Amino acid sequence: MKPYEVELLVAEVGAPDDDHAEMYHVLYDGVVMDEQNYSVLGGQAEQIIEALKEQYQPGMALGDALKLGAKGARHRRHAARTPSSSRSRCSTARGPRRAFRRIKNAELASLLA
């Protein structure tokens, strides 16, 4: 029986104009990697990261960033379709007090269209 392997992504997110956001990818064996701009966890991460290196642009619009993430998820599942907004969970940075807001299904569907 194979033991579970767990990876974590720990992110400190500030205001949209704050350059102090930090991301740490913690591997199942305890190794901590300092990530910049994006991170991929789980199987086939290397392939998805290579695609992101070519296509990611700093300051991307939310819809474009979500489409790029969905494209990576689609590659990971070997599926030929965009993830359903009803099955996706998504948050985005927002105002000074609360760092995230949930993107509801209708808005997510519109952004992925």
Per-residue pLDDT tens, the chain, 113 aa: give them: 777 888 999 988 766 666 667 889 998 888 999 998 888 888 788 888 888 888 999 888 889 988 988 887 776 555 444 445 444 555 565 555 666 777 888 888 898 88
Would you state the torsion angle of the CA atoms of residues 54, 57, 63, 65, taken in this order, to the nearest 10 degrees? 60
Residue 1 lies in a domain: no
Q: How many domains does the chain have?
A: 1
Residue 48 lies in a domain: yes
Residue 95 lies in a domain: yes
Residue 99 lies in a domain: yes
- Structural domain span for residue 69: 8-112
CATH number assigned to the domain comprising residue 44 = 3.60.20.10
This prediction's pTM: 0.66
Cα gap 86→111, rounded to integer Å: 13
Residue 2 lies in a domain: no
